[in-house]
Structure 1
Amino acid sequence: MDDDQIPHSPDFDELDRLAPNKAGRRNLLFALIGNINYSWSNNESTFIYILQHLMETDELTATLVFGTLNTTRARVDLIERLADAKLKDDTLKKKLRRILRIFNESTRLRNEFSHATFRQNQQGEITHTHSMRIQRKNGQIQLGEIKALDDARIAQMGKAIEKLVKLNREIWAFIPELQHAMSQAADKPQHQGSPQFQPS
């Protein structure tokens, strides 16, 4: 690799000297990222109880299934498939689809900040995120998008946190409705299917 292809090391001494002057905005940014992760994780954990009722099982079994499916995408996929197969109430299906849609939108934002490098300017201010997601653009493989961490983006993060908090309350209101619907369905007599002929 040529020397001009190697990125220059930051001036760490100068960044350390300037950092206290940028602490306010830096701490705000870190608090927002932490709050997004905190709120997102609280929402994902409620899926244990959605799984519990869709699977018509106990909390321990639902927790084991949740933990065994070690990606968020796999957990959401299972919930969607179970709802299609077992949830008969169309109104609740629509509510669940809405919950999952909003959650998936928040997952993209959470991943964006959790899997990125952060660029600083000469004054030690964090100015951009650089996604670590590999993508192909114009036939070239490169790292993901670079986005400015300006006031508009910080405001967007604040709105995302508000949406996650609202979603959490919506999920907790949905769970007893789901429990009731599934218990009602279990109480109904099941269709027996075709009669089985016994040998004479």
Structure 2
Amino acid sequence: MSPTSQLPPTPDFDAIETAARDAAATAARGDVFTLIGQMSYSWSNNESLLVYFIMLLLRCDRASALIVFGTLNTSRARVDLVQRLARVKLADRALSGELKRLMARFESGTRLRNDLLHAMFTVNEAGEITQTHAMRLEERAKGLRFGAAKPMDGARIEAIRHEIQAMNELNRDLWRFLPGLEAHLRTVEARGPRPGA
């Protein structure tokens, strides 16, 4: 008796590819791929701006900030650096609070971006993307959970569209924030070091 395989059944690729050639299925998949591309584009533009936060907070040139940015190989590490530097460099509570809110908005977009880019996609017989399976472990009170599935339905598509818009608005807000951060840090530098610093 042969052992039962733990693998899922191999997809019927020929049937899926034939169905995917259908104009409606192709358009639906194209819409999902376009949204994922737009999400990635908007998120990347925001992450890239962290270079300027690092440059201002470390009081270094752009090349040095790019080296620090590139050396930290995750967005989480880059955000952590910006937040930690802000704790010791920003004397203005309002400015510090706004920076925290901006970083929280970026992290919200990061969660959705990671959810889409680090997932396995399930396709039905018609070639339509029906759901995603997260390719990460989640620690829960009752143990570990792997591969949480989420439907790629109208509500999820709308949530992705909403987050793309939020990422685009965040980009404008980051650009608006940077000149104020620069001015504040120049003022602090002109005053000299704080006693005990």
182-191 vs 130-139, greater mean Cα deviation = 130-139
Residue 29 (1) aligns with residue 9 (2): no
Change (3 A) 1:129 1:191: closer
Residue 10 (1) aligns with residue 11 (2): yes
Change (3 A) 1:145 1:191: closer
* Cα-Cα RMSD: 1.7
Question: 1:3: Cα distance to partner?
Answer: 2.8
Output one character per residue of 1:31-90: Cα deviation in whole Å (capped at 9) or x when no partner: 001111111010000000011111111111111111111111111111111100011111
Q: Give the distance between the partners of 2:99 and 2:86, measured in 1 at CA.
A: 8
Uncovered stretches (5+) of structure 2, i.e. residues with no partner: none
Structure 1: 4+ residue segments shifted above 3 A? 135-142, 189-193
AA of the residue aligned to 1:20: R
Write the mapping of 1:1-200 to structure 2, written as runs, cut at 5 A.
2-21=3-22, 22-135=25-138, 141-191=144-194
TM-score normalised by structure 1 residue count: 0.91
85-94 vs 183-192, greater mean Cα deviation = 183-192
AA of the residue aligned to 2:49: T
Q: Give the distance between the partners of 1:177 and 1:20, measured in 2 at CA.
A: 52
Identity within the alignment, %: 41
Q: Give the distance between the partners of 1:136 and 1:61, measured in 2 at CA.
A: 37
Equivalenced residue count is: 193
Q: Give the distance between the partners of 1:118 and 1:159, measured in 2 at CA.
A: 21
Could you say which structure has the larger radius of gyration?
1
What is the SS of the residue equivalent to 1:119?
strand
Uncovered stretches (5+) of structure 1, i.e. residues with no partner: 194-200
Question: 1:119: Cα distance to partner?
Answer: 0.5
What is the SS of the residue equivalent to 1:5?
coil
Q: Give the distance between the partners of 1:191 and 1:169, measured in 2 at CA.
A: 32
AA of the residue aligned to 1:179: E
TM-score normalised by structure 2 residue count: 0.92
AA of the residue aligned to 1:157: I
Output one character per residue of 1:73-120: Cα deviation in whole Å (capped at 9) or x when no partner: 111111111100011111111110010000001100000000000011
